[in-house]
Chains A and B, each alone.
Chain A
């Protein structure tokens, strides 16, 4: 088991390096001198020259790259051009709505998706199964921003149950925050729950066909015990994988949904940074989100130690 964990951690390093390199290269992919791009079209030639020196852009490429790695290791994500503050600060400022939205959406996705998948598997090929799977297919076919717009049209504009847009910060109260995040969380979560349902169903089906289940049934165990105790636990592995992946997908999905609902989170931050060509912020947000993604995947991999005994003995 220890080797498994150690190997997983070690495997992270080259990936992290690649992530950091990709983020660095982003600026250089753009046509033109990076300093003039960062300084913006409104900067004077003096400003650009100064920024050039400041960013160390006159050093050879590999030197710049290593300096970049060093800064990242220290946690220095640079300075935002437009906001005139450290990128890390701007990110931490906007993290609250995105984190809350993602967690809320994850809860919805799991609460809707897992039971749906399990029930569908139980009633395999029956009408319930077909109905649920048809619904799931529709669910993965609808873009989350479209679902968001439709939810607004129905629940805010027609019924008035929820605010049309906007975010109520935690400091003004839990209830307001939850209320302002409900429609966006559903827009994100419902789409994701469809994916989870499909996977959970398949995982359950595969497990239900396995030998030890047949053996359990032959032994005379009640259907309930078979399904819930044995099958479910084993079906958890791919399901947990999907839930882990869902977290990462939801974070990126929130980027889009935040635009629809005008929530001041990381999504709005990166979009406005793109529109303003504020490259340090783009790099910073991209690295943060990739970093979270990697950590989540690591957590999922490590969770196999709990769920899959075979892993322990590798």
Chain B
């Protein structure tokens, strides 16, 4: 199901400022931004506000949250606060990198498929084929081939979400292609690549930007799920998924091992979803309510 967007004519400066004001005026979106900001700040400042997440203080294993260990310690005496903080760092890194990768691939494929008729069928069939696998299944299978590492996680999740971006881009491109100014440009003999770069690309960006927040959220979720299952990042890299997997065995004695990383995940994804909803309502008011994306 493609999501269409009308191309936006160039806006005078005043209306751009209004755009920002309208974004901020929605309380929900502000909350989303705030939550995301917290995660970002924590992740970026990780080395300053946390200790070594790998350091084991075995004599202090399974201590409840308190003054010395704000989130308690795990079963080999690692400080949970530090692990959650570095987990935030990892999630941000993976989320941002996946968005960049998925958009890079998705834009290229979507532009190619939408603009050049002959490429449409082959490219989109490949995209459809990739989307025929549920995201997590394809990610697991890719990780099986590539092996556990942060880079491979980024590649695997990026490849999984690229087709969804491509589909949206293609939809926009199909419409933009038929507009008068593109036709005019073609009639004037402007080369295809220039048309795509100058006229098509900027105008199909707004539905894509809406997706950025959701893809970020999906990437964070998928990475956590992969690490939880043991097929994501290597076990020595602190990831919220890893921490949850290890804390699972101590659910009864040490619930803090699950509650804190769990809260961190929820907070981040909730923030991203709020932000995404806000962006969408703002940029494409007509789209409120149609199917957002397939997970």
Interface residues of A (CB under 8 A from B): 14-15, 17-19, 21-23, 26-27, 29-31, 137-138, 140-143, 145-146, 149-150, 152-153, 157, 199, 201-203, 205-206, 238, 241-242, 245, 248-249, 251-253, 255-256, 259-260, 270-271, 273-275, 277, 279, 282-283, 285-286, 289-290, 293-294, 297
A-B contact count (CB 8 A): 156
Question: Residue B104 at the A interface, CB < 8 A?
Answer: no
Q: Taking the nearest CB of chain A, how far is it from the CB of B152, in angstroms?
A: 10
State the majority secondary structure of interface residues on B: helix
Interface stretch among B39-47, B166-174, B192-200, B258-266? B258-266
- Interface residue count on the B side (C-beta < 8 Å): 50
- Cα A248 to Cα B133 in complex, Å, equals 9
Residues of B within 8 A of A286 (CB): 133, 137-138, 141
Q: Interface on chain A toward B: helix, strand, loop, or mixed SS?
A: helix
Residues in B with CB closer than 8 Å to A143 are 221, 224-225, 265, 269
Q: List the B side residues contacting A259 at CB < 8 Å.
A: 228-229
Contact bitstring B246-261, A, C-beta under 8 A = 1, else 0: 0010011001001000
In the complex, the chain B residue whose C-beta lies closest to that of A246 is B295
Specify which of A138, A199, A274 is in contact with B144 (CB 8 Å cutoff).
A274
Q: Which of B1, B137, B289 has a CB less than 8 Å from the CB of A205?
A: B289
Min CB gap A30→B, angstroms: 4
Apart from A26-B141, A199-B292, list 15 A-B contacts with CB within 8 A: A18-B125, A22-B129, A141-B269, A141-B273, A143-B221, A143-B224, A143-B225, A146-B266, A150-B262, A249-B294, A270-B137, A275-B231, A282-B140, A293-B133, A297-B132
Residues of A within 8 A of B269 (CB): 141-143
* CB under 8 Å from chain A, chain B span 227-254: 228-231, 244, 248, 251-252
Distance A305 CA – B76 CA, assembled complex (angstroms):
59
A142 touches B266 (CB 8 A): yes
Q: B187 contacts which chain A residues (CB < 8 A)?
A: none
B129, A137: Cβ atoms closer than 8 Å: no
- Give CA–CA (A143, B224) in the complex, Å: 9
Is B290 engaged at the interface, CB distance under 8 Å to the other chain?
Answer: yes
A18 adjacent to B129 (CB under 8 Å): yes
Name the residue of chain B whose CB is nearest to the CB of A144: B225
Q: Is the CB of B258 within 8 A of A248?
A: no
A146 CA to B289 CA, complexed, in Å? 27
